[in-house]
């Protein structure tokens, strides 16, 4: 796979699952995977549309990255690392796994690979994320890999009305 950083190669069922960095052509999968989960639980918001309509401008060009998980070339999951104002800090955002892959450990594998990528490749010192308490499995997963809830006095205004969980992971 030319131009991609392979982070994991896992035998799964009939094919191979690979976690890799974003490539040209991944835009539609990134958008549809995120639109699906957001619309299933919440309402798409202005900031969602901005980011999903142009991930190059809002994530990649400022120094962030998007990781994708695929089987035999079909992307079924993704997550973004969005640069924040604080040096070497990134927001973990837009994490999505297709419903047909849920419950198979792919979210954990993608999240673990993303944390490692942020720490080792981007040299991040801190990751931040926003979620919603309604997404109990996601919040539990974040806690399991080391994210800690921020106390209310450290929570900044979010562009998302749905954000009621704020967490960080410090390296």
Residue-by-residue DSSP string for 146-171 = T-EEPPGGGPPPPS-TT--EEEEEE-
Taking the CA atoms of 93, 98, 101 and 103 in sequence, report the sign of the dihedral they define: positive
Give residue 15's pLDDT: 66
Give residue 16's pLDDT: 86
Residue 5 confidence (pLDDT) above 80: no
Q: What is the pLDDT of residues 96-146, one digit of tens each?
A: 999 999 999 999 999 999 999 999 999 999 999 999 999 999 999 999 999
Helix 46-53 and helix 27-41, axial crossing angle in degrees, nearest 10: 160
Q: pTM of this prediction?
A: 0.90
Structural domains of the chain in order of their starting residue, each with its CATH number: 8-124 (3.40.630.30)
Q: Is 37 left (phi over 0), alpha (psi -120 to 50) or beta?
A: alpha
């Amino acid at each position: 796979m030319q131009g991609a950083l392979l982070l994991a190669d896992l035998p799964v069922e009939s094919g191979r699952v690979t976690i890799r960095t974003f490539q040209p052509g991944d835009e539609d999968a990134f958008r549809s995977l995120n639109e699906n989960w957001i619309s299933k639980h919440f309402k798409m918001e202005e900031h969602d549309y901005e980011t999903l309509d142009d991930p190059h401008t809002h994530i990649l060009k400022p120094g962030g990255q998007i990781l994708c998980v695929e089987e035999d070339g079909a992307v079924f999951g993704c997550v973004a690392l969005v640069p924040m104002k604080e040096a070497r800090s990134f927001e973990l955002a837009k994490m999505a796994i297709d419903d047909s892959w849920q419950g198979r450990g792919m979210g954990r594998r993608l999240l673990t690979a993303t944390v490692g990528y942020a720490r080792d490749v981007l040299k991040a010192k801190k990751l931040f994320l926003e979620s919603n308490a309604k997404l109990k499995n996601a919040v539990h997963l974040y806690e399991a890999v080391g994210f800690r809830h921020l106390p209310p006095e450290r929570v900044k205004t979010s562009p998302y009305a749905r954000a009621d969980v704020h967490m960080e992971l410090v390296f």
